[in-house]
Amino acid sequence: AQSVSQHNHHVILSEAASLELGCNYSYGGTVNLFWYVQYPGQHLQLLLKYFSGDPLVKGIKGFEAEFIKSKFSFNLRKPSVQWSDTAEYFCAVTPRGAGSYQLTFGKGTKLSVIP
Amino acid sequence: ETGVTQTPRHLVMGMTNKKSLKCEQHLGHNAMYWYKQSAKKPLELMFVYSLEERVENNSVPSRFSPECPNSSHLFLHLHTLQPEDSALYLCASSQGLTDTQYFGPGTRLTVL
């Protein structure tokens, strides 16, 4: 079975600072990778996803993530955060092929952006 | 604005009560899911339906009983729950089992 590790439980940044949230997964086969975001009081929304192709994936609101297969990592980045990015961010993985609906989430990283 | 709606948004129930959670998707998807989100734990997949047939039951206790009458609706029937079942229950849908899952806002359940 796959597992996902998010290294930071809570990250606090000032506006305009750069962001990188770590995500590592454990699985022996090929995977699909996701970042979801949950803004305060709102539902879980898809930020970006990687299925295949260019390992640098661009998502909504200026976020991007890079899949590094050799490191089993899919870190989320944003060059300059805004107060409105305050939210909880979840990395998730599914195996490709059989059982591909088995979306496994990390515990989440809470991001607080200070104006 | 989400294409997946859930009702009620909040529910408080005693251990002897019977209640149901409802999920409706307006995205034309054919797969639906129930997840449990507990404090300090990752989201846990509970049930998966594809074309109204259950394809996954992740060792969920029988006090949780899902029902999928059609591809747009999913229910979670609850009976004789325990306080540790208090959590946020999320519904999701996707177009096929291999596609991206889209989530509803969740039902915050408290079991007294």
Chain segment A40-80, per-residue pLDDT in tens: 988 899 999 999 999 999 999 999 999 999 999 999 999 99
How close, in Å, is residue A65 to chain B by CA atoms?
17
Chain segment A9-24, per-residue pLDDT in tens: 999 999 999 999 999 9
* Chain B residues near any Cβ of chain A (below 8 Å): 2, 4, 31, 33, 40-43, 45, 48, 50, 55-56, 90, 92, 94, 97-98, 100-106
- 3-state secondary structure at position A36: strand
- 3-state secondary structure at position A81: coil
CB A108 within 8 A of CB A8: no
